[in-house]
Structure 1
């Protein structure tokens, strides 16, 4: 009986530590280059297992859940459009870190499609002696230059994960806080808990695998003329609600204005180069 008890305890401990750990970060952004007073804040998840980690928007998984429920209960008529509007996210990307192969995979929506690439730059951290306390964690300072910004990170060895939000990682502990020196982007750890497994992230549109340099080119094309970019690929245009007396030309004009306005509001990306 004693031996069976030890085996049961061992299996329980293995199952416990095999669980995925979710770290919730508050992401603060100034995405509009023409209006630095426009500050956006939303939460993002960093889910970590022994094999990989995934960083993505909390609103995204909530929207995916609503879409899935609506499709199961009658298609588009099942959507709560006000609820979907409240869950709009600036964080349209996800970052997956493959720990076994030491690869970072970035995915981002440009227009109707999802572009994905393997990060080809390394993070060269300078670990500094300065320490402080953030919340319940004793943290240490580190700095790096990445994506055209100077970043300061605070990591803790109390959480033994060499990981962090966005593409950040590779420090002796989990990154609790990261911010750029212009005060335009910051990530702050709010809480953490265990989840059973990674959720499935829905991918609408085509997934196009490219080199990072090609992704940057496509992103630039979209920012310069989003309507032309979305038209060049052919296929259906983004869905429009057509009322009984709606003029298709007017509807298209409103759609184009919305796309241009959204592109303008995201003119200060997290990576400048």
Structure 2
């Protein structure tokens, strides 16, 4: 009995040790989605920092994890399908940026589909920001910060970092200063991130609940050269369902969609429009050019 108890305790210890705790930093991103417009939008993004790496992404889906979980459990109990697109807010950005510590090797990924299967395409890089740290200091929220400037992706950037937060990291790809970046924006204020808060996240999960229940999950990660990544993503934006369309028979398209008004074809047309609108809504990228196009 003691032997089995010891084994059980050892197993529990391994599970507990495997659980990851993250420091989550909330950044409000204010941005201009269109190059020829003065319209400004805001979205909450998050930077999750663990011992070995950090993960930056749009917070929209993660924030709705509990809502989605309840809705899925209700569907499982009732046995009736429900169109969650009517209750769930879609994110403004689908990309993620992962930084590995201590080398700060970055992986930029975005999600597309190959046929009916989701997949993530990605490229890796170690961007050099060449920060110029000045003596200018400013109080931002609760933090004492110091100014630094750099040029990246065709834009001039000003950042304010705090040594009170001992992380050489920041939102998006920004990193490499002697403290966490509290605020960073480009000279024309097309993109501006501001730290709004932070908290500890126990049992940290890299995937949102929506990604865990989607068939195929978040999709297989395929790392390719950056120029190929940009070409592949540009082609996907032009025709998101190009690889799926040849697999759709008329019989399949005319089939009634359970729990919805309309057919599978109607649902796919709706999804295609949502995907096109998602990409068409922003033609003002953070990086005006990639290193290969410089």
Is 1:222 matched with 2:233? no
Decide which of 70, 81, 99 is 1:77's aligned counterpart: 81
Offset, 1:208:
2.2
Q: Does 1:209 align with 2:220?
A: no
Change (3 A) 1:236 1:95: farther
Q: Quote the residue 1:148 is aligned against.
A: 154
Question: Counterpart in 2 of 1:8?
Answer: none
Residues 46 and 208 (structure 1), Cα distance of their counterparts in 2 relative to 1, 3 Å cut: same
Give yes or no for contact 1:20–1:48 (8 Å, CA) kept in 2.
Answer: yes
- Match for residue 123 of structure 2 among 117, 123, 136: 117
Distance in structure 2 (CA, Å) of the matches to 1:188 and 1:167 = 15
Look up the SS of the partner of 2:242 in the other structure.
helix
CA displacement at 1:45 relative to structure 2: 1.4
Indicate whether 1:106 and 2:117 are aligned: no
Deviation at 1:19, TM superposition (A): 4.3
**Aligned-CA RMSD value:** 3.1
How far apart in 1 are the matches of 2:69 and 2:140? 38
Q: 1:80 to 1:217 in 2, by over 3 A?
A: closer
Instruction: Choose which of 241, 265, 268 in structure 1 pairs with 2:281.
Output: 265
Distance apart, 1:221 and its partner CA: 2.4
The change in CA–CA distance for 1:174 and 1:236 in structure 2 (over 3 A counts) is farther
Query: Does the C-alpha gap of structure 1 residues 160 and 69 become closer, same or farther in structure 2, counting only changes over 3 Å?
Result: same
Preserved CA contact (<8 Å) 1:67 1:79: no
| Cα offset, 1:64, TM superposition | 4.8
* CA–CA separation in structure 1 for the residues paired with 2:256 and 2:189: 39
Distance of 2:218 and 2:96 partners within structure 1: 14
Distance 1:68 1:251, change over 3 A: closer
- 2:49 & 2:92 partners in 1: Cα distance? 22
Distance (Å, rounded) in 2 between the aligned partners of 1:196 and 1:34: 43
Aligned counterpart, 1:157: 163
Residues 104 and 126, structure 2, Cα contact 8 Å, conserved in 1: no
Distance (Å, rounded) in 1 between the aligned partners of 2:68 and 2:169: 31
Q: Are 1:107 and 1:117, in contact at CA under 8 Å, matched by a contact in 2?
A: yes
Conserved? CA contact 1:33–1:265, under 8 Å: no
C-alpha contact (below 8 Å) 2:241/2:272 kept by paired residues: no
Distance 1:266 1:222, change over 3 A: farther
Could you list the runs of 5+ residues in structure 2 that have no partner in the other structure? 1-16, 212-216, 290-294
The alignment covers a number of residue pairs equal to 249
Residue 261 (structure 1) shift: 3.0
- Residues 24 and 49 of structure 2 are in contact (CA less than 8 Å); yes or no, is this contact kept in structure 1? yes
Q: Work out whether residues 32 and 264 of structure 1, in 8 Å CA contact, stay in contact via their aligned partners in 2.
A: no
Q: What secondary structure, in the 3-state scheme, does the structure 2 residue paired with 1:97 have?
A: strand
Q: CA deviation at 1:245?
A: 6.0
Matches of residues 1-273 of structure 1 in structure 2 within 5 Å?
Answer: 19-37=21-39, 39-74=40-75, 77-78=81-82, 80-84=84-88, 87-110=89-112, 112-201=118-207, 202=211, 203-223=217-237, 225=238, 227=239, 229-232=240-243, 242=257, 248=265, 256-273=272-289
Q: What is the CA distance between 1:231 and its match in structure 2?
A: 0.7
